[in-house]
């Protein structure tokens, strides 16, 4: 099975975020980007599918930041057969623009399964995976937590809520929004990443940012007031532990006051 | 704004979800400011009997087909997209849930409408505007929408479900559609029982991404046990396979309301908060002073959980 996986760089979720001067976007000058965690799971699921069936995995990413090349090289090191960087230095793109670029790139190929993380933390104008399936006219399932190959295509498991899941037969080609892979994403040694760098498996395709608009404009952003309703505990860990134990006891748990 | 306000309902096992009633409540608020009619799209097979639960809608658009008996990702998305293309509602409200995520983008694409995702509030009094949560709740954004029609994928908690849960007899209009193939339902799996039930615990110690490794969970689990409670987790921890799914709190996991909810290294993404915000006492510990968990917590400490947990263990051992 020829599988495509779409990878996106997003602001590191553990970094402290700062706003730009006119407070309409993040201050991106010193912002670090990492692979979107759901895309990491999509890559893992793609590699597992390939291990199940043979075939190939091609990783695609749009050149939105410097980290994208490293993300693609890491995908090769983990087992992707090829990686394609779409454009260079394109800057911040919304989900509509990303889905347009991916649709143009994938439309020329014949991947049977297109896997992408179910969401990314900056998708204010819709989910790339599902926008893409609408553009390509392919069947889709989102919030996928497992896939397996059947005679007719794929069987996928979708998560509803409260641990309830449902299974679906999916006709190919299809787009899957991956919530979690069957197993945790694999690690790869730095030495393998260095090898992948020289493998020649990474190519670049000239791409320009689309001119079309999603129709949604951010007019202002802000950092929600932290602890707006919370009483903040001050002091070191010893003081904090004492206060937390007092709170536990006041709530009737953790022993008598 | 032109046209009706259409709520895309969600149901499982013959029951509407809370998300459905939250959207109906939100729609009624918007109807007050715009004068538009509230309609509800009900998609399934043999579901006409459920329309009386949708008293908060003036009209129910009923789509019934055997292929839509259980939620069908591509099928539901395409038939609702067709309905929207045909009837041209002004505002389409889709829950930002597992089923809604399959539908919102298709609805918007098919009618070439703007889509506002991660939406927590909508203002339709002059043009269309909304407030959204980005970067896992670390940023709040105001957005404006081009034109006078749009689709909104709405986060849980945008309105109170109780305000939208009304029996009644809305006008029911059956709509005939063709259901495309592509995805077909083959079965539903309930979660395995047998593990600790985190929904009945008085105290939960909940670990998030900040726990860093599977080995670090043991110390927290021991502390939870000493308190007569249990250890639970946010999604990243479960996705790593460090704790079973039965321990997951949040949108794709379980909803909990313990007496004390102690969050250790949990950032507090909207999907997580949805499953714990009604806990009696919420205490949050995080190294990041911007962590959105502090927005929902009653008490917070900015610091390292690895410094705190041994101190807590010592104190509780001594008591």
Least confident interval from B45-54, B158-167, B284-293: B284-293
- Contact state of A122 with B188 under an 8 Å Cβ cutoff: no
- Predicted confidence band of residue A257 (pLDDT cuts 50, 70, 90): very low
Residue A226's pLDDT is what? 61
Give chain A positions within 8 Å (CB) of B240.
184
Is the model's pLDDT at A161 over the cut of 50?
Answer: yes
Chain A: nearest CA to B131, how far in angstroms? 9
Percentage above 90 pLDDT, chain B: 89
Give chain A positions within 8 Å (CB) of B186.
155, 167-169
Closest-CA residue of B relative to A165 is B189
Q: In angstroms, rounded to a whole number, what is the distance separating the alpha carbons of residues B115 and B110? A: 11
Is the model's pLDDT at B30 over the cut of 50?
Answer: yes
Query: Mind listing the pLDDT tens digit for each residue in A211-226?
Result: 889 999 999 999 887 6
Between B290 and A257, residue with greater pLDDT:
B290
The residues in A 75-104 lying below 8 A from B, measured between CB atoms, are 95
Residue A255's pLDDT is what? 57
Cis peptide before B73 (omega within 30 of 0): no
- Contact state of A232 with B104 under an 8 Å Cβ cutoff: no
Give chain A positions within 8 Å (CB) of B92.
none
Query: Mind listing the pLDDT tens digit for each residue in B208-247?
Result: 999 999 999 999 999 999 999 999 999 999 988 899 889 9
Give chain A positions within 8 Å (CB) of B115.
125-126, 214, 216
- Contacts of B176-180 with CB under 8 Å at 24 or more apart are B177/B63, B177/B65, B177/B79, B177/B82, B177/B83, B179/B65, B179/B67, B179/B68, B179/B72, B179/B75, B179/B78, B179/B79, B180/A139, B180/B74, B180/B75, B180/B78
Comparing CB atoms, the residue among A168, A224, A247 nearest residue B183 is A168
Q: Which domains does chain B have, with CATH numbers?
A: 5-174 (3.40.50.620), 198-318 (3.40.50.1220)
Residue A256's pLDDT is what? 47
Closest-CA residue of A relative to B252 is A161
Closest-CA residue of B relative to A128 is B105
- Contact state of B189 with A222 under an 8 Å Cβ cutoff: no
Q: In angstroms, rounded to a whole number, what is the distance separating the alpha carbons of residues B102 and A168? A: 13
Residue A228's pLDDT is what? 67
- Contact state of A217 with B143 under an 8 Å Cβ cutoff: yes
Nearest-CA neighbor of A28 among A94, A121, A98, A91? Answer: A91
Percentage above 90 pLDDT, chain A: 87
**Within 13 Å and on the Cβ side, how many CA atoms surround B227?**
34
Residue B192's pLDDT is what? 75
Comparing CB atoms, the residue among A221, A226, A241 nearest residue B294 is A226
- Contact state of A224 with B236 under an 8 Å Cβ cutoff: no
Which residues have a Cβ under 8 Å from the Cβ of A16 and sit 6 or more positions away?
A: B288, B290
Can you tell me the mean pLDDT for B174-196?
90
Residue A177's pLDDT is what? 98
Can you tell me the mean pLDDT for B105-115?
95
Can you tell me the mean pLDDT for A197-207?
95
Comparing CB atoms, the residue among B117, B186, B295 nearest residue A228 is B295
Give chain B positions within 8 Å (CB) of A171.
181-183
Query: Mind listing the pLDDT tens digit for each residue in A44-88?
Result: 999 999 999 999 999 999 999 999 999 999 999 999 999 999 999
Residue A16's pLDDT is what? 85
Residue B262's pLDDT is what? 97
Is the model's pLDDT at A243 over the cut of 60?
Answer: yes
Comparing CB atoms, the residue among B141, B187, B295 nearest residue A124 is B141
Domain spans of chain A, in order of start: 2-205, 231-257
- Contact state of A133 with B209 under an 8 Å Cβ cutoff: no
Do B104 and B115 form a contact (C-beta atoms < 8 A)?
yes
- Say whether residue A187 is in contact with chain B using an 8 A CB cutoff: no
Which residues have a Cβ under 8 Å from the Cβ of B36 and sit 6 or more positions away?
A: B1, B3, B4, B5, B30, B90, B91
Residue B252's pLDDT is what? 84
Helix (H) or strand (E) holding A64, with range, is none
- Say whether residue A158 is in contact with chain B using an 8 A CB cutoff: yes
Q: Number of A:B CB contacts under 8 A?
A: 306
Residue B319's pLDDT is what? 61
Give chain B positions within 8 Å (CB) of A37.
236, 239
Chain A: nearest CA to B168, how far in angstroms? 28
Q: How many CB atoms lie within 10 A of CB A204?
A: 14
Query: Mind listing the pLDDT tens digit for each residue in B68-87?
Result: 999 999 999 999 999 999 99
Comparing CB atoms, the residue among A139, A226, A253 nearest residue B183 is A139
Is the model's pLDDT at B106 over the cut of 60?
Answer: yes
Query: Mind listing the pLDDT tens digit for each residue in B126-162?
Result: 899 999 999 998 999 999 999 999 999 999 999 999 9
Do B2 and B149 form a contact (C-beta atoms < 8 A)?
yes
Between the two ends of chain B, the Cα-to-Cα distance in Å is 62
Is the model's pLDDT at A246 over the cut of 60?
Answer: yes
Q: Which two three-digit tokens encode residue B194?
A: 């047998």
- Contact state of B139 with A17 under an 8 Å Cβ cutoff: yes
- Contact state of B301 with A14 under an 8 Å Cβ cutoff: no
Question: What string of DSSP letters covers A92-144?
Answer: ---HHHHHHHHHHHHHTS--SEEEEES--TT-TT--HHHHHHHHHT--EEEEE
- Contact state of B182 with A174 under an 8 Å Cβ cutoff: yes
The residues in A 43-62 lying below 8 A from B, measured between CB atoms, are none
Chain A: nearest CA to B56, how far in angstroms? 24
Domain A2-205 adopts which CATH fold? Rossmann fold (3.40.50)
Can you tell me the mean pLDDT for B80-103?
97
Comparing CB atoms, the residue among A118, A141, A237 nearest residue B303 is A237
């Amino acid at each position: 099975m020829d599988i495509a996986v779409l990878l996106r760089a997003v602001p590191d979720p553990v970094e402290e975020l700062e706003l730009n001067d006119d407070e309409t976007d993040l201050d991106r000058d010193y912002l670090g980007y990492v692979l979107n965690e759901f895309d990491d799971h999509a890559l893992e699921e793609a590699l597992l599918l390939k291990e199940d069936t043979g075939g190939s995995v091609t990783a695609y990413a749009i050149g939105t930041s410097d980290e994208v090349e490293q993300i693609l090289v890491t995908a090769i090191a983990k087992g992707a057969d090829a990686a394609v960087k779409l454009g260079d230095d394109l800057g911040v793109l919304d989900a509509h623009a990303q889905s347009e670029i991916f649709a143009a790139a994938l439309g020329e190929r014949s991947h049977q399964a297109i896997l992408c993380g179910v969401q990314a933390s900056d998708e204010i104008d819709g989910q790339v995976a599902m926008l893409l399936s609408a553009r390509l006219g392919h069947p889709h399932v989102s919030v996928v937590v497992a896939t397996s190959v059947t005679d007719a295509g794929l069987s996928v498991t979708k998560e509803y809520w409260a641990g309830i899941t449902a299974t679906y037969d999916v006709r190919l080609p299809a787009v899957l929004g991956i919530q979690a892979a069957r197993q945790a994403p694999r690690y790869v040694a730095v030495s393998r990443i260095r090898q992948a760098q020289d493998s020649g498996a990474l190519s670049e395709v000239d791409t320009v940012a689309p001119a079309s608009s999603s129709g949604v404009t951010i007019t202002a952003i802000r950092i929600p007031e932290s602890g707006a309703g919370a009483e903040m505990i001050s002091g070191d860990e010893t003081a904090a532990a004492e206060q937390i134990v007092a709170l536990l006891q006041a709530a009737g748990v953790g022993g008598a006051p | 704004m032109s046209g009706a306000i259409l709520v895309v309902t969600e149901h499982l096992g013959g029951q509407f979800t809370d998300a459905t009633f939250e959207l109906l409540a939100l729609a009624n608020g918007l109807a007050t400011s715009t004068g538009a009619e509230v309609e509800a799209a009900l998609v399934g097979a043999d579901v006409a009997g459920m329309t009386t639960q949708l008293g908060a809608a003036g009209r129910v658009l009923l789509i019934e087909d055997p292929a839509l008996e259980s939620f069908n990702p591509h099928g539901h998305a395409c038939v609702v997209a067709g309905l929207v293309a045909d009837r041209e509602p002004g505002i389409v409200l889709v829950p930002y849930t597992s089923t809604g995520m399959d539908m919102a983008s298709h609805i918007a694409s098919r009618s070439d409408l703007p889509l506002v995702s991660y939406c927590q509030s909508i203002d339709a009094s002059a043009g269309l505007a909304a407030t959204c949560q980005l970067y896992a709740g670390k940023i709040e954004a105001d957005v404006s929408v081009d034109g006078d029609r749009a689709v909104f994928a709405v986060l849980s908690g945008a309105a109170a479900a109780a305000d939208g849960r009304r029996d009644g007899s809305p006008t029911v209009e059956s709509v005939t559609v063709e259901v495309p193939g592509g995805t077909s339902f083959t079965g539903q799996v309930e979660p395995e029982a047998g593990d600790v039930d985190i929904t009945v615990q008085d105290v939960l110690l909940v670990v998030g991404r900040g726990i860093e490794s599977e080995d670090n969970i043991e110390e927290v689990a021991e502390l939870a046990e000493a308190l007569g409670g249990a250890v639970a987790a946010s999604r990243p921890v479960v996705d790593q396979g460090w704790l079973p799914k039965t321990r997951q709190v949040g949108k794709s996991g379980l909803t909990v309301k313990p007496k004390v909810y102690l969050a250790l290294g949990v950032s507090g993404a909207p999907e997580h908060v949805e499953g714990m915000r009604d806990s009696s006492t919420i205490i949050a510990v995080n190294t990041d002073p911007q962590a959105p968990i502090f927005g929902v917590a009653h008490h917070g400490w900015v610091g390292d959980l690895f410094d705190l947990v041994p101190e807590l263990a010592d104190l509780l051992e001594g008591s």
